Structure 1
Amino acid sequence: MTTYKELLKQREALEAQISDARQRELSDAVTRVRGLIEEFGLTAADVFPPARGRGVSSAKGGKVAAKYRDPATGATWTGRGKAPKWIADQDRTQFAI
């Protein structure tokens, strides 16, 4: 049976081997990729096209034009959310802008 210290030394040796193997394979992969890029004349845009749908929507959080105006006070409402008291339970066509 191996001791705790021996196991730690084995782990350190394995981690060093793993790191070395990763560096070798990474270097080989980069060399192959560079060769393919050169062979086919690829650009960064060819390999990494712009992402779609990740940007912030321009409509999100934007201001909306008012659709209704209270003739008595001049207050306006966009028609979104809870209706204000001055237009609630009334025909909205008479308040349309």
Structure 2
Amino acid sequence: MNSRSVIIDNADAQIQYSPGWRANGSPNEYKRTTSNTETRGASFTFKFVGSSVAVYGTLDSDTTYVLDGGNPKFPFFGQPQPQVQYQQVLLDPA
């Protein structure tokens, strides 16, 4: 079986965002881009053919996510640190 990884940036047109998202970025983020929202129920869709997907992001004081309309995950804090954490794994199928 042939295995291959593809990196898709959050600014890629393949990702469809619901209303309420905004584009941001800093030198610490992949390709200097990030998308964030404070809108309850906001979502994004990324359709792909494959067996898994990993999601990386920037973490601040509280970050939550839901996969495929399931129950919200607990607040995700990454490694306990006082500063913002960049390029952190939010979801990894491994």
The normalised TM-score by structure 2 is 0.17
The normalised TM-score by structure 1 is 0.17
Looking at secondary structure, tell me which structure has more strand per residue. 2
Higher relative contact order, structure no. (Cα contacts within 8 Å, ≥ 6 residues apart): 2
